[in-house]
Amino acid sequence: MIFRRFYSLVILTLFTLSLGGQTITRGPYLADPKTGEMSIRWEVDQKSSGRVYYGQDKSLKQSVKAVLLGAQFDHFLYEAELKELSPGADYFYQVKVKRKRGTLGHFQAPPELDATCTFAISGDSRSNPQIFTKIVAGIAQTNPDFVISMGDLVADGGNYNQWNENYFIPAAQLIAERPFISTLGDHEAGGDDGALFEHFLFPDLEYEKLWYSFDYGMVHFISLDYRHVDSEEMKTWFQEDIQSSKGKWNIVFMHRPTYNLGGHRSFWGNPVWPDLFQEYEIDVVFAGHSHIYERFHPVYKGKAGNWSVTYVTTGGSGAGLYEAVQHPVLAFAKSINHYADVHVSDEQFELRVYQIDGGLLDSLTISKNTDGSQDSQYLASASSRDELDVMSRFARPISRSLESPPLLYRPAAAIVKLKAGAITSPVKFELRLSDVSLENYKMVPYSGELIPGVDQEVTLSIYGLSDLKISSWGHIDPPFRIEAIYEQGDIKGTVEGKLLSLRAW
């Protein structure tokens, strides 16, 4: 492709381009890719007329008038919809505001729906634009057709200025050349319920219900709104959407992970959504939220050889890193800044994950047969989901923050709320301090049995045996954690909770 080059972000004329006394304060950036269609958006500080001139050469013989999408903080967002593009062809474009044209840009028109494609993956880029700038440069070197993000583009979604600082400036050149398609993160939703996220990225949606799907080449993408984990409306929409998919590959991406052992220990939507992902033959589920990289071995429910799903947590694009843990159910886990790309063809899904210097961190290839079934080698690498579902009963509850510090003569009360969920047979368990915690802390282990349909609440008394240091964020030094030993029939194992901290210290 003649356009597969990345230009320095030092030149920010794309970003603060003065046109006839007006300033483009955000953009231009690509949006809403469809076969033979692409939208160009930009924000200006005054209402104005605008057009986009475009074409397959620099003469730019075609043009389309921009329409006003909306206004926020006395700034105005415009969009020009380019239609009847030649699928897969390269185009030049220029934004014209009043009588002045901006910098020459370019993009590739989305291909036909049976075409191969390459996409990049990013997650949780907020809070550190210096790292995100490096991630963006690395992504550009992989030459993706577009990017999907796991959300948390900014630290405070309702802070209008942060959208420039954390996202639009670091990503300026990338998003002017390739669509950058994000799911809603909790930092966008927490700031203003997702209103600015919706304004900039999905003006056709309702900010209270930010779930959607799209097709690019032979891949069908589904983005779920993590806020609606128990929503029958989103569940029904998902079922109708996936049943109408004609994609060779079906990908789900969302903010909070369905399975996650490091970082937040998130088990979003269990067991309903994992059942749906298997039933409707989702290939891979990507999520962020925990600022680590974590890939599970593929898992199935029921008999060996059933359809298997791979779960990946990718939250390392700039936010402060979290702890990663190691466990036999994980194929790879590391606390590291990273990005990824995926090459998709008829028979293969190739995931490659890179550390920030471009070195290869992890890779995965999923192969399919000509009838769309998963090949035997991939299925042979899969294991039953049963252990993950048992672990999900304990990993989050033993990671809850404490209300008071563990002292020698006044113990901390760790309240562990265990929910039976969908377990079908009893789970024997023991809650205890991890071995590395025993030098500085004391706790009497608790043994019990989790019975189907019966939730439990256990209070553990933890004593400190040495002087403590507690940070303004509530982090406790020396660090310590609780672990759960579990047994359900042939399933036996251990899962670690987070390092415990104080709530609202």
Give me the pLDDT at residue 191, please: 83
Give me the pLDDT at residue 15, please: 43
Q: Is the pLDDT of residue 199 over 80?
A: yes
Res. 2 pLDDT band, cuts 50 70 90: very low
Q: Do 368 and 347 form a contact (C-beta atoms < 8 A)?
A: yes
pLDDT tens, 426-453?
999 999 999 999 999 999 999 999 999 9
Give me the pLDDT at residue 229, please: 97
Q: For residue 168, give the DSSP letter.
A: I
pLDDT tens, 463-498?
999 999 999 889 999 999 999 999 999 999 999 999
Q: Is the pLDDT of residue 66 over 80?
A: yes
May I ask the CATH class of domain 393-496? mainly beta
Taking alpha carbons only, the member of 116, 120, 122, 123 closest to residue 143 is 120
What is the secondary structure of 276-315 as a DSSP string?
A: HHHHTT--EEEE-SSSSEEEEPPEESSSTTS--BEEEEE-
H/E stretch holding 195 reads: helix 195-201
Mean pLDDT of the chain: 94
Task: Write the CA distances from 53 to 41, 100, 352, integer angstroms.
Answer: 13, 12, 36
Give me the mean pLDDT over the 279-285 stretch: 98
Res. 22 pLDDT band, cuts 50 70 90: confident
Q: Is the pLDDT of residue 384 over 50?
A: yes
Contacts of 480 (CB under 8 A, 6+ apart): 406, 433, 434, 436, 437, 440, 441, 462, 499, 500
What are the domain boundaries of the chain? 17-108, 117-390, 393-496
Give me the pLDDT at residue 335, please: 98
Q: Is the pLDDT of residue 9 over 90?
A: no
Taking alpha carbons only, the member of 25, 26, 49 closest to residue 98 is 49
Length of the chain: 505
CATH tag, 17-108:
2.60.40.380
Q: Say how far residue 337 (Cα) sits from the centre of its chain.
A: 14
Give me the pLDDT at residue 98, please: 85
The CA-to-CA distance between both ends of the chain, in Å, stands at 54
Give me the pLDDT at residue 21, please: 56
Tell me the one-letter amino acid at 162.
Q
Q: What is the CA radius of gyration of the chain?
A: 24
Res. 13 pLDDT band, cuts 50 70 90: very low
pLDDT tens, 203-248?
999 999 999 999 999 999 999 999 999 999 999 999 999 999 999 9
- Residues 476 and 324: their CA atoms lie apart, in Å, by 18
Phi, psi torsion values for 68, nearest 5 degrees: -80, 120
pLDDT tens, 89-106?
999 999 999 888 899 999
| CATH architecture, domain 117-390 | 4-Layer Sandwich (3.60)
Burial 16-49 (b: 16+ CB within 10 A, else e): ebebeebebbbbbbbbbbbbbebbbbbbbeeebe
Give the tokens for residue 44. 């200006």
Give me the pLDDT at residue 100, please: 87
Give me the pLDDT at residue 48, please: 87
Q: Is the pLDDT of residue 14 over 60?
A: no
Residue with tokens 């990013």: 122
Give me the mean pLDDT over the 376-384 stretch: 96
Is the dihedral angle over the CA atoms 180, 186, 187, 192 positive or is it negative? positive
Give me the pLDDT at residue 285, please: 98
Instruction: Please tell me if the domain spanning 17-108 has the same topology as the one spanning 393-496.
Output: yes
Res. 78 pLDDT band, cuts 50 70 90: very high
Q: Is the pLDDT of residue 194 over 70?
A: yes
Give me the pLDDT at residue 23, please: 83
Give me the pLDDT at residue 504, please: 67
Q: Is the pLDDT of residue 4 over 60?
A: no
Give me the pLDDT at residue 6, please: 38
Taking alpha carbons only, the member of 145, 108, 74 closest to residue 2 is 108
